[in-house]
């Protein structure tokens, strides 16, 4: 299964029988955020030298 690593923002392949994970859902506004939106936020923080 593919999971989103919250520290790197990258998708990783994991064995679902050996991995603990959570399924989360959240609406930021009237429009759902995309994966690219999240990556853009991460890039903005890292380019400012700020930890995520």
In a domain, residue 35? The reply is yes
Number of domains in the chain: 1
Classify residue 7: in a domain, yes or no: yes
Structure tokens at 34: 């995309």
pLDDT at 10: 83
Residue 52 lies in a domain: no
What pLDDT was estimated at residue 50? Answer: 57
State residue 31's pLDDT score: 77
Segment 1-34, tens digit of pLDDT: 988 887 887 889 999 899 888 887 776 677 777 8
Res. 41: pLDDT tops 90: no
The CA distance from 1 to 14, in Å, is 5
pTM confidence score: 0.45
Query: How large is the average pLDDT for residues 23-47?
Result: 79
- Which pairs with CB-CB distance under 8 Å and at least 24 residues apart come from 1-10? 4/35, 7/52, 9/38, 9/39, 9/42
CA 41, 11, 40: angle at the middle one, nearest 5? 15
Q: How far, in Å, CA of 5 to CA of 11, rounded?
A: 6
């Amino acid at each position: 299964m593919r999971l989103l690593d919250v520290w790197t923002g990258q998708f990783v392949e994991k064995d679902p029988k050996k991995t603990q994970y959570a399924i989360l859902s959240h609406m930021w506004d009237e429009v759902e955020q995309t994966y690219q939106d999240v990556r853009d936020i991460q890039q903005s923080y890292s380019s400012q030298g700020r930890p995520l």
